[in-house]
Amino acid sequence: MAVDIRLIATDLDGTLVHNSTDISDANIAALKAAVDSGITVCLATGRSHRSAAQFARRLGIDNSLIISYNGAMVRGCGEQQPIHHVPVPPEKASAIVRHSMESRRCLHYFLNDTLYVTHVNRWGRLYLQRTGDVPVPVGDLRKFDGECPTKLLIADEPESIAAALPQEQERWGGELYVTNSLPEYIEYLNMDATKGSALAWIAQHLGVGLEHTMALGDQLNDLPMIQQAAIGVAMPDGCDEVRAGADYVATSAKDGVAEAIGRYLDL
């Protein structure tokens, strides 16, 4: 069932990448075949640009655009400056900093592609292990009042995050985009920063109609681009909302990207 796909956007963790760094040979081969046929492949991740760029280089798409920070930034793999950036407004960022202090939750503050924390604890070390982003301790995040961070992220136990996420979505409804990429995180972004809006921006930038796009993901932060793309693909162990919103649910968690490309593209 070949479809005229000209732009593929794939999530990293839980979709293309497993155990933080592993990409299956089948997924690598499928993406290479897509690129060789003239299809543009871009990574779309909640990670920082720096963290995502290492995978673009591994895949040989280091001349591509990268959607990072859940859609808040679009930037060329080797470029120093973004071509599209929608950060969190300063007053909202300051409110989240104070809210995290009151709730005694660990906050990660992403500014100028650097991860700042009050102090380095197990959540900072886990984020470093997962992404390679080094947490920089600054003591008091209120020192950044007036700044516009790209993203803010609260880390806590999965059961605590599961209870808090709908409350935070209601709290910031209409003011911030609140989502999660992994069970331990709640992520706060500009209302215009989603993977779906970033995919639409790149498609327009490249002159590709959305009817020629494919998006692949597994978590709630992937749902906007899965719904935006002509073909939205979910991984089999993805969250319920993503699987329900996808056009196709892959049967293989490890090789789901290759499976979807093989199903829809005549390569």
Dist CA 249 CA 262 (whole Å): 13
**228-257, pLDDT tens digit by residue?**
999 999 999 999 999 999 999 999 999 999
Handedness of CA 238, 129, 191, 193 (dihedral sign): negative
For residue 173, CA distances in Å to 44, 93, 165, 194 come to: 24, 15, 12, 14
Which strands make up the sheet holding 40-44, listed edge to edge?
84-85, 73-76, 65-68, 40-44, 7-10, 213-217, 231-234, 248-249
**202-217, pLDDT tens digit by residue?**
999 999 999 999 999 9
Dist CA 95 CA 102 (whole Å): 11
Reported in sequence order, the residue ranges of 98-238 that DSSP labels E, i.e. its strands, are: 106-111, 114-117, 135-137, 151-155, 176-179, 185-190, 213-217, 231-234
Per-residue pLDDT band for 91 (boundaries 50, 70, 90) equals very high
CATH class, 7-85+193-264 region: alpha beta
**60-74, pLDDT tens digit by residue?**
998 999 999 999 999
Dist CA 154 CA 75 (whole Å): 24
**Architecture label for domain 90-190:** 2-Layer Sandwich (3.30)
* Model pLDDT, residue 134: 97
pLDDT greater than 90 at residue 20: no
CB atoms within 10 A of CB 200: 18
Specify the pTM: 0.93
Return all residues near 9 (Cβ < 8 A) that are at least 6 apart.
Answer: 41, 42, 43, 44, 67, 195, 199, 202, 213, 214, 215, 216, 225, 229
Domain spans of the chain, in order of start: 7-85+193-264, 90-190
Dist CA 246 CA 259 (whole Å): 15
For residue 139, CA distances in Å to 98, 123, 233 come to: 14, 15, 42
* Model pLDDT, residue 3: 82
DSSP conformation class of 267: -
pLDDT above 90: percentage of residues in the chain = 95
